[in-house]
């Protein structure tokens, strides 16, 4: 084990040695177990990511293996599997009850390992979600902890006699879960949670918790998982008198995770799910010694604002902020239009939030977090307009970072009211995000593949063309773009040696001419040049 882990451990836990020594033994064992090292440690900077729920996309891992050909045809290089571990599924699998077991309905652990092997044969990388901040209340640790104040796993969680602690901690699920403390009758006190009340937060002040979580993560690493989305990363450490977000100790915990992964074998991508301001998000890259990847949450609403207001300056402002941030070498942004969560409105002004709600909140059911978010599929949000959808994707590929495609958006899937109502009735939470989490449409897929004149095919092939150009020019796409806004055009240019790619996007209402190219409203143009 590295000296760096020992040093950081000392900052967190002082002279504690029991679990530090156990961690050393664990990492040495894992290092011997790993079979195939990753050849290109920076693989996460290349290609395009496809995000999916295994059960909703393909029923189980056997079905997902069969769909690898479809994903390969689209041009996907990385699969981000939304939660797949054992769970009561109250929060779509982010409430994990066993960190070592694939959910029964998805197949066995061996089915998953077989799937990884098939995906790797197609040169696809596999990333999956682990909620690093909390467990399900049905995890054996919490089931034990809630029984008695002397229980074995009591100190794995955070307890208080009343609710008057961490009062500066904001509510993350306003309108869904309106308190960060929940009463536990058997011990006559309260446990702390940042999300649903069925997701008690882990207590990282207990070194055994960190040891157990590293043990679980590295179990999957040696089985072939290429990366982990560290769900709820900013909230790991709690301290009275703070807002319990982005604390220095949280960063130290993540640095230990990173050092542990690198010690076992280079190339594991740690992805920080940090829905924060850009200046806070970039901190999760550390000095190139923390997470490898962060999500570009703040650019997402800017793309939607720019399209709604037909004004490319909304992009200019945000990209200037990102451009000024110091990003360590060999790290990356993941960029996206939509995902399993809402279209977040946290990073816009009150006036912009009003504009967004007026334009995109087409039905009251779509509201999330009391006006701070809008749920919905890309196709629905963009007025079921194919050209708007493709323009949005063109803007996405114009921006620095590795783009993510959310399952079904490539074929114009709609909001699924039936699925929303089913999940609302099942669990009792009115969580509008279920609108954009419905089952994958095989009918639309067949239309996309077999009817070239269908809406589905036009979206699929338009996006496929963009992905193909990126796959064939990854080194060029890794260059930092030069951005320009002019006459409501958003222009991005990348250059490398004798190659250049200029992407022109017309967000305005009028036809615009640029360098002898006329672009109609909502049109985009990609110009790839190679001087010989």
pLDDT in tens, the chain (532 residues): 679 999 999 999 999 999 999 999 999 999 999 876 677 889 999 999 999 999 999 999 999 999 999 999 999 999 999 999 999 999 989 999 999 999 999 999 999 999 999 999 999 999 999 999 999 999 999 999 999 999 999 999 999 999 999 999 998 887 778 899 999 999 999 999 999 999 999 999 999 999 999 999 999 999 999 999 999 999 999 999 999 999 999 999 999 999 999 999 889 999 998 888 778 889 999 999 999 999 998 899 999 999 999 999 999 888 988 888 889 999 999 999 999 999 999 888 999 999 999 999 999 999 998 888 999 999 999 999 999 999 999 999 999 999 999 999 999 999 999 999 999 998 887 889 999 999 999 999 999 999 999 999 999 999 999 999 999 999 999 999 999 998 899 999 999 999 999 999 999 999 999 888 999 999 999 999 987 5
pLDDT given at position 36: 67
231 tagged catalytic: yes
CATH 2.60.40.1180 positions along the chain are: 482-530
CATH class belonging to 482-530: mainly beta
Neighbouring residues of 249: CB distance < 8 A, sequence distance ≥ 6: 12, 204, 236, 237, 239
Which member of 231, 342, 410, 416 is catalytic? 231
Give the Cα separation of 465 and 467 in Å (integer). 6
Locate 25 and state its tokens: 């033994």
Burial of 112 (C-beta count, 10 Å sphere; 0-12/13-18/19+): buried
Sequence-ordered strand ranges (E) for 88-232:
98-102, 125-131, 159-160, 181-184, 189-192, 227-231
Neighbouring residues of 482: CB distance < 8 A, sequence distance ≥ 6: 492, 493, 494, 495
CATH 3.20.20.80 positions along the chain are: 32-135+207-477
Give the Cα separation of 293 and 127 in Å (integer). 12
Closest by CA to 380, choosing from 404, 403, 413, 355, is 413
Locate 264 and state its tokens: 């076992």
Give the Cα separation of 44 and 34 in Å (integer). 20
Residue whose entry in the numeric block shows the structure tokens 């924060």: 276
117 tagged catalytic: no
DSSP 60-109: SHHHHHHTHHHHHHHT--EEEE---EE---TTTT-S-SEEEEE-GGG--H
Locate 7 and state its tokens: 């040093």
Give the Cα separation of 369 and 350 in Å (integer). 15
Give the Cα separation of 28 and 260 in Å (integer). 10
pLDDT given at position 138: 98
pLDDT given at position 369: 81
- Whole-Å CA distances, 51 to 103, 128, 376: 18, 9, 16
Give the Cα separation of 441 and 338 in Å (integer). 17
Give the Cα separation of 273 and 281 in Å (integer). 9
pLDDT given at position 277: 79
- Residue 367 DSSP SS3: strand
pLDDT given at position 532: 53
Contact assessment for residue 105 and residue 55, using Cβ atoms and an 8 Å cutoff: yes
Contact assessment for residue 335 and residue 299, using Cβ atoms and an 8 Å cutoff: yes
Neighbouring residues of 394: CB distance < 8 A, sequence distance ≥ 6: 466, 503, 505, 524, 526
Which member of 273, 410, 416, 455 is catalytic? 273
Task: Place domain 32-135+207-477 in its CATH homologous superfamily.
Answer: Glycosidases (3.20.20.80)
Among left, alpha and beta (phi > 0; psi -120 to 50; other), residue 485 is: beta
């Amino acid at each position: 084990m590295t000296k760096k882990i020992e040093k950081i451990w000392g900052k967190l836990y002082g002279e504690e040695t029991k679990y530090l020594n156990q961690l050393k033994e664990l990492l040495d064992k894992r290092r011997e177990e790993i079979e195939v090292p990753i050849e290109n440690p920076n693989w996460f900077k290349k290609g395009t990511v496809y995000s999916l729920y295994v059960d909703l996309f393909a029923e189980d891992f056997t079905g997902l293996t069969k769909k690898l050909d479809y994903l390969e045809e689209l041009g996907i290089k990385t699969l981000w599997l939304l939660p797949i571990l054992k769970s009561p599924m109250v929060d779509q699998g982010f409430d994990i009850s066993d960190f070592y077991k694939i959910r029964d309905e998805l197949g066995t652990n061996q089915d998953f390992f077989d799937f990884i092997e098939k995906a790797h044969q197609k040169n696809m990388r596999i990333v999956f979600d682990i909620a690093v901040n909390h467990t399900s209340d049905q995890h054996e640790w919490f089931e034990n902890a809630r029984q008695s104040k002397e229980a074995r796993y009591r100190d794995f969680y955070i307890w208080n006699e009343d609710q008057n602690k961490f009062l500066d901690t904001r509510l993350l699920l306003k309108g869904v879960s309106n308190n960060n403390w929940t009463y536990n009758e058997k011990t006559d006190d309260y446990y702390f949670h940042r999300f649903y009340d069925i997701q008690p937060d882990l207590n990282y002040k207990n070194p055994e918790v960190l040891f157990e979580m590293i043990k679980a993560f590295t179990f999957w690493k040696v089985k072939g998982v290429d990366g982990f989305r560290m769900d709820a990363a900013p909230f790991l450490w709690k301290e009275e008198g703070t807002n319990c977000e982005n604390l220095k100790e949280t960063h130290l915990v993540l640095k230990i995770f990173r050092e542990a992964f690198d010690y076992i074998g280079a190339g594991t991508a740690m992805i920080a799910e940090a829905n924060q301001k850009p200046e806070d998000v970039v901190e999760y890259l550390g000095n190139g010694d923390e997470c490898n990847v962060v999500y570009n949450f703040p650019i997402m609403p800017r793309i939607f604002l720019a399209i709604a207001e037909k004004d490319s300056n909304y992009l200019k402002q945000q990209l200037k902020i990102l451009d000024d941030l110091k990003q360590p070498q060999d790290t990356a942004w993941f960029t996206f239009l939509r995902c399993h969560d809402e279209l977040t409105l946290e990073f816009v002004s009150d006036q912009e939030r009003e504009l967004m709600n007026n334009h995109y909140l087409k039905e009251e059911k779509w509201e999330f977090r009391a006006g701070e978010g809008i749920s919905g599929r890309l196709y629905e949000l963009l007025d079921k307009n194919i050209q708007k959808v493709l323009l949005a994707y063109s803007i996405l590929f114009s921006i620095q970072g590795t783009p993510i495609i959310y399952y079904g958006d490539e074929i114009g899937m709609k909001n699924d009211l039936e699925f929303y109502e089913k999940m609302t009735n099942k669990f009792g939470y009115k969580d509008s995000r279920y609108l954009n989490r419905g089952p994958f449409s095989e009918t639309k897929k067949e239309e996309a593949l077999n009817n070239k004149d269908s809406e589905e095919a036009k979206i699929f092939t338009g996006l496929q063309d963009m992905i193909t150009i990126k796959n064939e020019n990854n080194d060029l796409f890794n260059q930092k773009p030069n951005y320009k806004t002019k006459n409501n055009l958003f222009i991005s240019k990348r250059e490398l040696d004798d190659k250049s790619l200029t992407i022109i996007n017309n967000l305005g209402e009028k036809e615009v001419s640029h360098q002898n190219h006329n672009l109609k409203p909502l049109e985009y143009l990609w110009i790839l040049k190679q001087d010989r």
